[in-house]
Amino acid sequence: TAKKLLILPGDGIGQEVMVQVRRIIDWMGKKRNISFDITEGLIGGSAYDVHGTPLADETLADAMSADAVLLGAVGGPKWDDLPFDKKPERGLLKIRKEMGLFANLRPATVFDALVDASTLKADVVQGLDIMIVRELTGGLYFGQPRGIETLPNGERKGVNTLTYTTSEIQRIGRAAFDLARKRNKKLCSVDKANVLECTVLWREEMIKLQQTEYQDVELTHMYVDNAAMQLVRNPKQFDVMVTENMFGDILSDCAAMLTGSLGMLPSASLGAADANGNRKALYEPVHGSAPDIQGKDIANPLATILSFSMCLRYSFNMDAEADMIENAVKAVLKGGLRTADIMAPGKAKVSTSVMGESIIRELEKL
Ligand code: NAI
Ligand code: MG
């Protein structure tokens, strides 16, 4: 049966880049005879304009019953002055929370043709292909107690707490080990076990998982400060990294810059697996709605196209089609076509739609 895909283009360039994904989906239907059961919905400001809320209950229900959700981006100046709970970003936070997406996957891939877009030297990043798995619903960003209190002596005190239960560590651990198994069977768990007890537990649980369920995957450990340094010094030593929420927030932004452009970065967020091993999942580019370039047909659609390819690989088990899309992206870049955000001397500057068209043309050749 056809996989159920909910498409939520959102606002701003989210809508423009999603048009290019729809072309790929049409192509897959016509040329590969693969069809999806697609529902399209509203999220963010465009949902507020129609429903008075950034995420309608009906859309959330569609998300809960879908095999995967593909999202563009939300937000824009038009909605900046709305009350807190009506803001576009609340729609995004709500859908992530309701779907229970506890694992955030952020690949950092350097395409050969784009080595010049990186901020680092070519030999450091050439061929880079790593994946950071960030725990997304626990850790320092959610731990209790938290807040700012006034002490009896009149001083004020700010508190945040780093907490993880064994089950929280095990589920992010399994998601990361499963991924490592699909890739190169190497997992680096990043912690601060020399200082933070919570991450001593984290390390112990990762070791237990490896010994009991994932003996085929090589597990290493690294302190987060060293990991930040190693990501810049020699990122190719890593394959899959798994880490705490805040550590992952920082490390994944650091890794993102190894690749050079926001317009190239896809992501996936995964929830719990059901009895059949299917996980709730949401795929989206890392970038936002880019109001500064909206409506100009210059946004880079590749981050969203690559998010769709992750969806094919991780939710739909369509590795062959995911490979085809990634190869088409490589070929187009190799041919010298660039959107403005990844522009370089000697390259042809193309629009969003021409980039999408060129991907289809490459797919035709593969
Ligand atoms: P942004 O990611 O939208 O844009 C940052 C800069 O990168 C801009 O100069 C933009 O033109 C450029 N850029 C981003 N994506 C691009 C692409 N695909 N191709 C070419 N250039 C691209 O972040 P910003 O400006 O901080 O936020 C704008 C709006 O987006 C805000 O309303 C913000 O809340 C929202 N936002 C939404 C996110 C989401 O939906 N996941 C994530 C980040 C921001
Ligand atoms: Mg961040």
The answer on pLDDT for 1 being more than 90 is no
Once rounded to an integer, what is the mean pLDDT over residues 299-317? 97
In a domain, 325, yes or no: yes
- Residue 203 and residue 329 in one domain: no
Predicted local distance difference test score (pLDDT) of residue 260: 78
Predicted local distance difference test score (pLDDT) of residue 261: 81
Residue whose Cα lies nearest atom 20 of ligand 1: it is 299
Q: Which of 37, 49, 216, 253 is catalytic?
A: 253
In a domain, 342, yes or no: yes
Determine if ligand 1 sits within 6 Å of the CB of residue 74: yes
Last residue of a domain, one of 218, 235, 259: 259
Number of domains in the chain: 2
To the question of whether residue 196 is assigned a binding role by annotation, the answer is: no
Rounded distance from Cα 201 to ligand 2 centre (Å): 25
Q: Among all ligands shown, which has an atom nearest to the Cα of 269?
A: 1
Minimal CA–CA distance to 130: which of 180, 56, 177?
180
- Residue 291 and residue 221 in one domain: no
Q: How many CB atoms are located within 10 Å of the residue 309 CB?
A: 25
In a domain, 56, yes or no: yes
Catalytic site includes residue 49: no
- Residue 31 and residue 58 in one domain: yes
Q: Among all ligands shown, which has an atom nearest to the Cα of 247?
A: 2
In a domain, 114, yes or no: no
Predicted local distance difference test score (pLDDT) of residue 120: 84
pLDDT in tens, 182-226: 999 999 999 999 999 999 999 999 999 999 999 999 999 999 999
* Nearest atom of ligand 1 to the alpha carbon of 292: 11
- Residue 354 and residue 235 in one domain: no
CA atoms of 191 and 199, how far apart (whole Å): 6
Last residue of a domain, one of 212, 244, 259: 259
CA atoms of 330 and 240, how far apart (whole Å): 22
Catalytic site includes residue 225: yes
pLDDT band of residue 173 (cuts 50, 70, 90) is very high
Do 73 and 14 touch, CB atoms closer than 8 A? yes
- Residue 231 and residue 305 in one domain: no
pLDDT in tens, 227-277: 999 999 999 999 999 999 999 999 999 998 898 788 999 999 999 888 887
CATH number at residue 39: 3.40.718.10
Catalytic site includes residue 283: no
Predicted local distance difference test score (pLDDT) of residue 38: 98
Determine if ligand 1 sits within 6 Å of the CB of residue 293: yes
Residue whose Cα lies nearest atom 38 of ligand 1: it is 288
Determine if ligand 1 sits within 6 Å of the CB of residue 85: no
To the question of whether residue 81 is assigned a binding role by annotation, the answer is: yes
To the question of whether residue 26 is assigned a binding role by annotation, the answer is: no
In a domain, 109, yes or no: no
**Lowest-pLDDT range, 35-44, 171-180, 190-199, 271-280?**
271-280
Determine if ligand 1 sits within 6 Å of the CB of residue 54: no
pTM above 0.90, yes or no: yes
- Residue 327 and residue 272 in one domain: yes
- Residue 99 and residue 177 in one domain: no
**Lowest-pLDDT range, 57-71, 205-219, 272-286, 326-340?**
272-286
Determine if ligand 1 sits within 6 Å of the CB of residue 81: no
Determine if ligand 1 sits within 6 Å of the CB of residue 303: yes
Last residue of a domain, one of 202, 233, 259: 259
Retrieve residue 85's tokens.
């709970």
Determine if ligand 1 sits within 6 Å of the CB of residue 261: no
In a domain, 303, yes or no: yes
Predicted local distance difference test score (pLDDT) of residue 7: 98
In a domain, 67, yes or no: yes
Catalytic site includes residue 48: no
- Residue 5 and residue 80 in one domain: yes
Higher-confidence residue of 343 and 155: namely 155
Q: Among all ligands shown, which has an atom nearest to the Cα of 288?
A: 1
pLDDT band of residue 52 (cuts 50, 70, 90) is very high
Q: What is the rounded average pLDDT for all residues in the chain? A: 95
Contacts of residue 155, defined as CB under 8 A and 6 or more positions apart, other chains included, come to: none
Predicted local distance difference test score (pLDDT) of residue 118: 82
- Residue 225 and residue 293 in one domain: no
Predicted local distance difference test score (pLDDT) of residue 84: 87
Residue whose Cα lies nearest atom 32 of ligand 1: it is 75
ipTM greater than cut 0.95: yes
Catalytic site includes residue 253: yes
- Residue 252 and residue 123 in one domain: yes
Q: Which of 11, 62, 249, 341 is catalytic?
A: 249
Residue whose Cα lies nearest atom 40 of ligand 1: it is 73
- Residue 308 and residue 339 in one domain: yes
In a domain, 224, yes or no: yes
Q: How many CB atoms are located within 10 Å of the residue 292 CB?
A: 9
Determine if ligand 1 sits within 6 Å of the CB of residue 292: yes
Once rounded to an integer, what is the mean pLDDT over residues 102-123? 90
Predicted local distance difference test score (pLDDT) of residue 51: 97
Domain range spanning residue 206?
A: 119-259
- Residue 132 and residue 253 in one domain: yes
Sign for the pseudo-dihedral over CA of 110, 310, 287, 327: positive
Q: Among all ligands shown, which has an atom nearest to the Cα of 134?
A: 2
* Nearest atom of ligand 1 to the alpha carbon of 10: 40
